[in-house]
Amino acid sequence: MFFEKEVKEMKRIVLLILIAMLLTGCGMGIEMGWYNLSDFVLPDDYEFLALIDELRTPFLIAEYMTENFKYKYSTLIAKSPYELWKIKVGDCNDFSLYGIFFAYCNEYETWQIRIFFDNSDIKHWLGVYKAKNQSLYEYTNNQNYGGNEKSSFEAIVNDHCEFSDRNWIKYEVYNYDLDIIEKKTQP
């Protein structure tokens, strides 16, 4: 009898955790939804390793993602680049991680921007790239890449928000090692 009471309480706790996860938005907080690329171990999979060499520019990466991946909102922890490649379904966090991983492997500087919108709990992630000796940043909006060259992270956020007809209240820029390198809040 005592054991049944503990089991019921444990089930309630697990259920509350699952509900909390489901109620969080695209790009949940780093604590819940982030995949740390520094911990990613390359798999022993020839096709995946060959793809790293093949997708050597942000344009090729985004073109591959557009042709091969489907968007599906998820509240679970972000997928590793390999997991996304295998299942071919992910959200903006998964796509931006995939893009910056492949670009980083091909010697691009890479970042992720997490955008917080007004009137929404949902956040959005963008992958950002800069080739060596280039002064402008380029970014992908989920899968799409259109040579969106901008001079600053804020210009990228503004461009994305104009395109998606949304307003941002805050953004955070993370480097490849998960360090926040820029934060801005609307006045």
Write the pLDDT tens digit of every residue in 19-31: 333 333 344 334 4
- pLDDT of residue 137 exceeding 60: yes
Assigned CATH topology for domain 2-185 = C8orf32 fold (3.10.620)
Contacts (Cβ under 8 Å, ≥6 apart) of 28: 21, 75, 123
Supply the mean pLDDT for the chain: 82
Return the bridge partners of 171, or none.
115, 184
Phi, psi of 178 (to 5 degrees): 75, 15
Token output for 25: 């938005």
What per-residue confidence (pLDDT) applies to 32? 45
Alpha carbons 178 and 136: distance in angstroms, whole number: 21
What per-residue confidence (pLDDT) applies to 144? 62
The amino acid occupying position 66 is T
Question: What kind and span of H or E run contains 13?
Answer: helix 2-23
95 burial type by CB count under 10 A (0-12 exposed, 13-18 middle, 19+ buried): buried
